[in-house]
Amino acid sequence: MKLKWMKSLIVPVMAMLFVYYATNLPTQDPTNLVNTINGDTERVSVEVSAETHHIVYGLHESNYLVRTAVEINPNALSWVHSIFDSLTSQQNRLSAHVSSLIPESAELINYEISDDGSEITLNLSREFLGYDVGWERQLLSSLVWSLTEDNDIDRVFFRIEGEPVANLNGALNVGSGLTRAMGINLELETQSTNSQQVLLYFLAGTAENQFLVPVTRIVDGALDPVTYAVNALSEGPRGQHYLSVVSHNANLLDEPALSDGILTLNFDSGLFFDQHHTQVSSVAIMQLVMTLTEQAKVESVSILVEGSTHVFDDESRPIAVPASRYLVDPFVSAN
């Protein structure tokens, strides 16, 4: 099975940011929380391995789907069963503050993977249909995004006790299979027929449990997706229960430049988060890298400040050195 993420990571997490978020978000400007981070921020390192964990998408108590890790069940019949079981409430294997939308009594009877490995058909028990129809899109996004995260599978089909289905409980057509193009945590910015999807990564959680919130925003198709994504992270989220730490004072001085898979961004001094203008938030870098490597042909991101390559983040890493998502991906294990 071809993995889309690194075999092993040691992930530094700025935990105190989430303490501030949890206690102050209702009364503070969520677009400028980067100013609350300082050099004394506590780091929490968690090792996550492809041999020991799955990356899945569960429902956070904020009602947004979040990206987290769960331990592989060594007793499961297969990796597909292990992921499916982790997303049912009876397993209770998800991180704290994250839950499943799949009915507890639902069972994965069996599954089939196409010869080229790109499609999977799930054969589910009838109890699977017992979910709340109002949560259908979130439930299916959770399942589809989890199954297509770490392997070559791109499309998910459904059967109920052996019978192919075009619809489940709601209006969403599943007859042609579902892909990640269905989006996750959808936000509609335009209703134009000339539209495009831009995937943005925001943050949610507490000091003990931090999560990435992927948001699929439907925007005007004429917009440059890279420039839009950078500006969107700087402007901050539309929702009230997640946040961005990319300062709203940060502006691009030049057009983004892509060469050999490396995207170079040149910001003004608004990207600094400390009073002395010497450091850039590593969490902001993580947001930018995770978001921009979702764009076609972007493999890594190099960041300059006013043209300088001699700028470091709060972990003393030079931000001009191209960073891929595999170097910044903040996997956290289930508690």
Q: How far, in Å, are 27, 211, 243, 262, 294 from residue 288 at the CA level?
A: 26, 15, 13, 13, 10
- Please state, rounded to an integer, the average pLDDT across all residues of the chain: 84
Taking the CA of residue 235 as centre, how many other CA atoms within 13 Å lie in the half-sphere pointing to its CB?
10
Asked if 62 and 168 sit in the same domain, the reply is: no
3 state DSSP class of 108: strand
Residue 316 lies in a domain: yes
Q: In this predicted structure, what is the pLDDT of residue 92?
A: 64
Query: Rounded to an integer, what distance in angstroms lies between the CA atom of residue 314 and that of residue 45?
Result: 15
Residue 42 has pLDDT above 50, yes or no: no
Judge whether residue 94 has pLDDT over 90: no
Give the E-state strand segments of the chain in sequence order.
8-14, 43-49, 53-60, 65-71, 98-99, 108-113, 119-124, 155-160, 163-164, 187-188, 195-205, 210-220, 257-259, 262-267, 279-280, 300-305, 312-313
pLDDT of residue 317: 94
Q: Which residues on neighbouring strands pair with residue 281, listed in sequence order?
A: none
Place of tokens 């989006």: 183
> What's the pLDDT at 329?
81
- Mean pLDDT over 230-243 rounds to 90
291 and 197 in a common domain: yes
- Supply the range of the domain harboring residue 211: 1-74+185-335
- Residue 91 inside a domain? The answer is no
Written in H, E and C, the secondary structure of 55-101 is EEEEEECCCCEEEEEEECCCCCCCHHHHHHHHCECCCCCCCCCEECC
Q: CB under 8 Å to 314, separation ≥6 — which residues? A: 14, 37, 39, 41, 273, 274, 279, 280, 281, 282
Whether 93 is in a domain gets the answer: no
**What is the share, in percent, of the chain residues with pLDDT greater than 90?**
63
SS3 127: helix
Confidence at residue 239, expressed as pLDDT on a 0 to 100 scale: 73
Q: Which pLDDT score, from 0 to 100, does residue 47 have? A: 65
Same domain as 299, residue 215? yes
The fraction of the chain above a pLDDT of 70, given in percent, is 81
My answer on whether 151 and 212 are in the same domain is no
Number of domains in the chain: 2
* Beta-carbon contacts of residue 244 (< 8 Å; ≥ 6 apart): 30, 31, 33, 202, 203, 233, 234, 236, 237, 284, 287
Q: Is pLDDT at 169 greater than 70 in this prediction?
A: yes
pLDDT at residue 50, rounded to an integer: 74
Is pLDDT larger for residue 326 or for residue 129? 129
166 and 174 Cβ atoms separated by less than 8 Å: yes
> Does the pLDDT value for residue 35 go beyond 90?
no
Based on the domain organization, do 327 and 204 belong to the same domain?
A: yes
Is the confidence at residue 13, as pLDDT, over 60?
A: no
> How high is the pLDDT of residue 271?
96
Q: What pLDDT is stored for residue 113 in this prediction?
A: 97
pLDDT at 88: 86
Does 288 lie in the same domain as 204?
yes
Q: Are residues 164 and 198 in the same domain?
A: no
Which residues are CB-neighbours of 104 under 8 A, at least 6 positions away?
Answer: 88, 89, 90
The verdict on residue 156 lying in a domain is: yes
pLDDT confidence band for 52 (50 / 70 / 90)? confident
The residue among 179, 210, 242 that closes a domain is 179
List the one residue out of 308, 303, 318, 319 whose CA is nearest residue 263: 303
Q: Are strands 312-313 and 279-280 parallel, antiparallel or unpaired?
A: parallel
Asked whether 51 and 64 are in contact (CB, 8 A), the reply is: no
- Of 147, 162, 179, which marks where a domain is finished? 179
- The answer to whether position 321 is within a domain reads yes
Is residue 29 domain-resident? yes
Residue 322 confidence (pLDDT) = 97
- pTM comes to 0.85
Whether residue 296 is predicted with pLDDT greater than 80 in this model: the reply is: yes
The maximal CA–CA distance of the chain, rounded, in angstroms, is 64
Please tell me whether residues 224 and 173 are part of one structural domain. no
Give pLDDT, residue 288: 98
Q: Are residues 224 and 314 in the same domain?
A: yes
Residue 23: DSSP 8-state: H
pLDDT of residue 26: 36
What letter represents residue 219's amino acid? Answer: V
**Is residue 61 situated within a structural domain?**
yes
Q: Does residue 27 carry a pLDDT above 60?
A: no
pLDDT top residue among 307 and 205: 307
214 domain residue, yes or no: yes
161 with 281, same domain? no
The count of other CB atoms within 10 Å of the CB of residue 26 is 9
Give yes or no: residues 141 and 269 share one domain.
no
At 277, the pLDDT band (50, 70, 90 cuts) reads: confident
Q: Which of 144, 179, 214 is the last residue of a domain?
A: 179
Q: How confident is the model at residue 3 (pLDDT cuts 50, 70, 90)?
A: very low
Instruction: Report pLDDT for 170.
Output: 80
Summarize pLDDT for 182-228 with one digit per residue, the tens: 999 999 998 888 999 999 999 987 656 778 999 999 999 999 999 99
Q: Do 24 and 173 fall into the same domain?
A: no
